[in-house]
Chains A and B, each alone.
Chain A
Amino acid sequence: MQDFEYTAPTSLEGVIGLLSETWGETEIYAGGTDLVTCLKQGLTAPRRVVSLRNVKELKGITILDDSIEIGAATTLTTLLGNAELAKHATALIQAIEGINSKQMINVGTLGGDLCQRPRCWFYRNGYGLFGIEDGKSLIEDGDNRYHAIFGNDGPAKFVSASSTGPALIALGASLIVSGPEGERTIAAWDFFQTPQSESDRETALKSNEVLTKIIIPKNETQSATYEIRHRAGLDWPYVTASVAIGKEGTKVVLGHVAPTPWVSDAAGKALNGRVKKADAEKAGEVAAEGATPLSQNAYKVAMVKTAVKRAVLRATGQEEEA
């Protein structure tokens, strides 16, 4: 790991002033749970690391009349203990519960979960976001068992690693980012993007911007997240589904199947507020339509069907035994 300059300003303005216009020059340290590993793995070698530890305005949960505002540097453990979130954002809480490591969520932050880099093993071993060696994709002909089954027609075949992204999209959350030109609001869905070149990133965040706030509307929504995973301990799931069933409609968002969280409009429409077991099953089938699995991950298609079905049943109190 290359050494760097460490700074810990006390204001958001101070943080922004220290960030570079060029990716890779500076890095933001929130909880550090991903950044420290990225530094060790040589995935980034910044000249300066800017810590959010002293920026109080980025921490805490504010309950408003019609929304819940979460500071991006709030730890995931803090969110787990919040009764209003348990009520209005059940899918988010269940997604955090899926990160089954107290050590991780005591330090890891909501903003950090959204901004973490992909876990694709080709990426983590130095072959770039697209896993290319000598102009050839290591992913297409290699071990792609954990890779994307949707949105994988371009060079990006990794899956978004965010645990909370799918739930936040299902809940209709918006994100606030701040930079030198001020503040902008981005729908959670628009925050995630699929890189088309190695210089692209996985989110809409610019290198000199800070994700500051996550705003969740307080709708009368029944929501849930269901994860299908190899082991109960700390690991990433194979496939997740977050659903939110409200007056405005039904949203179904898949996780770990595409380079971004993957919204299935068709599954949402198929449900359209109907939540009987047969409807949930049908929604799962619709959600799996159009999947383009790689050579080793067709198993994920079946998991999409089950995850969607079980998320719908979980959201509506009809949970079945796994």
Chain B
Amino acid sequence: MENIVEIRDLSFSYPRSSKRSLDSFSLEVRRGESVGLLGPNGAGKTTLISFLSGLRPRSDDRVTVFGRPLHLLGEELLKIGYAPQELALYPSLSVHDNLIFFSRLACISKERQRAQVERVLEVVDLTSDREKRVAALSGGMKRRLNLAIALLNEPELLILDEPTVGVDMMSRDLIFERINDLRRSGTTLIYTTHYLEEVERVCDSVAMMNLGQLIYRGRVDLSILVQNFKSFANSLSLESDPDPQGQEI
């Protein structure tokens, strides 16, 4: 099956930082695959996502999506759906106004806009809250709206950056349910989190990161993941083990 995302030997440091946020990082994601990007705070997950979402310079040929470097994608970028970790919404505007704005940016034709907005509202169960100002929504509802915006353009690749932060149980279950619906429909998914349980629920495979490096890439198996993370942490503290056990990179 073709690779949707290919990252080859990518390194990156933030200005005025001696630490590498990404250190010779490589990753391949196949079409229809659902990859959990797992790692603790500071692992480099969000930095990696920022390359895929276009925030970092797109001219880097080491990152390709749909088989082409990002800067050559043009309007194909609109086939990527992205829900950032922050609630990137306009709080003073209504749910509907937010969705209309992003549907326009996604170049959805006027005729399709209404249908798409209704569809995503239904997907995230916010149809009855469409006229509410975003500021008046609960944390969980905001998260669902954040997800809805990413779904507007029916993306082939969906990138979700910690989409359940600060969400109540009900909203969390709903989000997982919808993500699994998308998986079944063939959407390629990159899902960042630092919770193993979430990876288990919505991902086929996992890419485990720490300190900007890929420390495990393989199937979702709780025991293997725990073992890998522990051995990597040990290798760092003892500085003696060059080949951590159990890696399936």
A, B from the same assembly: no
